[in-house]
Amino acid sequence: MNIKLNTIAATLVASMLSQTAWASSHREAPNITRMPTVDSTDFYAFNSYEADRENYVTLIANYIPLQDAYGGPNYFAMDPTAIYSIHIDNDGDATEDLTFQFRFEQALANETGIALMVGDEGEEKSIAVPLKNVGGVSAEDQSAVNFSESYSLTLVEGPQKSGTKTKLMNTYSGTEMFHKPLDYIGNKTFTDKSGYEHYAHQFVYEFALPGCEQNGRVFVGQRKDPFVVNLGKTFDLVNYVPVEGDSSPGAGDANGFPGGITQSADNDDLAFKNVTALSIEIAKDCITGDGNGVIGAWTTASLPQARILNPNAKLNKTEVNGGALVQVSRLGSPLVNELVIGLKDKDKFSASHPKDDGQFADYVTHPSLPELLNILFKDAVNTTLGTEIETLAPTNFPRMDLVTAFLTGFEGVNQQAMVTPSEMLRLNTGIPATSAEMQSAFGVAGDDLAGFPNGRRPGDDVVDIALRVVMGRLCYPIPVNGADTDLGLCAPEDASVGNVPFTDGAPLDASMVMDAFPYLATPIAGSE
């Protein structure tokens, strides 16, 4: 296919993609947009690449999307009625064997909050202050903090609903309670000369894990959103040519693609957004069980089934909740609910369990997005170019390339010993981590087996990867250990635009996050 056709076809593909929520899992389904505190935005599972932590796995579940740093006076507290979970399947049956549950509590200073004496002498009244802090805050002095969040961490061994539950011990305090730092209100609030990160770091805790010799680590707190996406221009009818431009040669053509978008940090519309991260690090030997060392992982959030609002609401007494827990949010691999699942089933996917993903199989084996592109734009392309292109969509049905990428994992890389087709983020704990400076943002497709879709690291550019995979990139050889390798899932003739270097022009790499736990970068300050 010539360059002109590649460019036009790529533009048309992106026009279709603009109709889908193209921002990882920020507001990915209709129902979850109404409940931002339990909206999972991104999920990560990777072999730790911090120095001397090569025997550990890090899992990060981000919640509460699109946080503006200046979002006072209440900022971004977690939902105290929810259960936030990180699940691990270590035997391949698509049912959790281990679950780490987070439950949050809110409290005012001295139980009733900080108050000031207001009024003339002899007629003073004690009046509660309206802010979450009344003065500077540092690692050494938190006396001015008026509002705080704490959480418990529970391990469930076996299925989440029926398994054995053990509350985990904070080894620093000797209690079952952990604490969350205040969000980054601004630089007048946080007076520590070493900055907000010095304050936040004291909220990294170790916890004892039953049957495990090594302690785990946990951190919950606000972080800079690690996801990058050219969101505004994409929804503006794709106001750019979504292939790599002249200054950034494409994967399939050494000459680049004229008129394509230039990679630039200016294209990242999440550059000044924060999220709240639930981060844990656990020794590999303590989570792999009797499987082949490949784990499947995902995050969920659940709420009580019934809620009765309190007409006389007070802090921590705004409603009465009861009934069974109902899962309202779910995330494993990125972009599945956005780019693959049909609009009518997005809420159903959010509430479903991996073991039941057979109900969504048609969305993967016969994806609608490429076919819609072909129906709507094939005639226009042929008329414009005077060609007779039979189809712009991949033609290999069922789409075993997508089944492998989304539902089973790749044999010899991230496929579990028992293969149960299901949507999870699969990580081979036996593949050594790649140091931050050596990582490829394109993961496995960039000859870096320690990256996506073998798990997912914060520096993996999953938007570009996912767009290319959906349009047939796996029908072409990919580099493995320096050699082009045919995966045998489909052939180049099955994907007419499969080798087009799709991109949103918003670059991402490991230099944009930290190289040590909790990995995600310091959040944006609400006030400089």
Asked whether 3 and 257 are in contact (CB, 8 A), the reply is yes
Average pLDDT over every residue of 429-437? 97
- pLDDT on residue 369: 76
Amino acid code (one letter) for 152: S
Question: What is the signed CA dihedral for 103, 78, 42, 337, rounded to 10 degrees?
Answer: 90
The structure tokens listed for 463 are: 């938007």
Nearest to 219 by CA among 520, 429, 459: 520
The average pLDDT across 437-449 equals 93
Q: Are 101 and 78 in contact (CB under 8 A)?
A: no
How far apart (Å, rounded) are the C-alpha atoms in residues 466 and 152?
A: 35
> Which ranges of 323-417 would DSSP assign to H, the alpha helix?
336-339, 346-350, 361-365, 368-385, 400-403
Strands, E, within 284-342: which ranges?
A: 294-314, 317-331
Phi-psi region of 37 (alpha: psi -120 to 50; beta: other; left: phi over 0): alpha
CA atoms of 274 and 457, how far apart (whole Å): 18
Model pLDDT for residues 370-389, shown as the tens digit of each residue: 786 567 556 655 665 566 77
| Residue position matching structure tokens 């900055």 | 195
Average pLDDT of span 410-437: 95
433: DSSP letter: P
Phi first, then psi: give them for residue 250, nearest 5 degrees: -80, 160
Beta strand spans in 130-244 (E)? 147-157, 164-167, 169-170, 178-180, 205-208, 216-224
Dist. CA 206–CA 186, nearest whole Å? 28
85, 102 Cβ separation under 8 angstroms: yes
The residue ranges of every structural domain in the chain are 3-112+129-512
Backbone torsion region of residue 16, taken as left when φ is above 0, otherwise alpha when ψ lies between -120 and 50, otherwise beta? alpha
How far apart, in whole angstroms, are the C-alpha atoms of residue 498 and residue 409? 20
Question: What's the confidence (pLDDT) of residue 71?
Answer: 92
Which residues, including other chains, have CB under 8 Å from residue 346's CB and lie 6 or more apart? Answer: 28, 29, 30, 337
Q: Which two tokens stand for residue 42?
A: 């991104």
pLDDT at 196: 92
Mean pLDDT in residue range 162-169 = 96
Residue whose C-alpha is closest to residue 502's, from 451, 467, 460, 453:
467
Q: Is 380 left (phi over 0), alpha (psi -120 to 50) or beta?
A: alpha
Q: Is the pLDDT of residue 257 over 70?
A: no
Digit-coded pLDDT (tens) for 465-493: 888 888 899 999 988 777 889 999 999 99
Q: Percent of the chain at pLDDT above 70?
A: 86
Half-sphere exposure of 378 (CA within 13 A, CB side): 15
| DSSP count for the chain of H helices, then E strands | 9, 18
Average pLDDT of the chain, as a whole number: 86
Give the pLDDT band (50/70/90) at residue 242: low
Strand 178-180 and strand 169-170: the pairing is unpaired
CA–CA dist 289, 122 (Å, integer): 69
Query: How far, in Å, CA of 204 to CA of 457, rounded?
Result: 20
Query: Percentage of residues in the chain with pLDDT exceeding 90?
Result: 65
CA distance 233 to 481: 36
- What is the per-residue pLDDT across 292-304, written as a single tens digit (0 to 9) for each? 999 999 999 999 9
DSSP SS3 for 407: helix
DSSP, collapsed to helix, strand or coil, labels residue 231 as: helix
CA nearest to 200, candidates 224, 230, 216, 176? 224
Assess whether pLDDT exceeds 70 at residue 410: yes
Cα dist. 346→366, 419, 421 in Å?
17, 24, 19
The DSSP-derived string for 243-271 is BB-TTS-BTTBTT--TTPBPP-GGG-TTT
- The backbone torsions φ and ψ at residue 11, rounded to the nearest 5 degrees and listed phi first, read -60, -45
Provide mean pLDDT across the span 194-198: 87
Strand-pair category, 205-208 with 178-180: unpaired
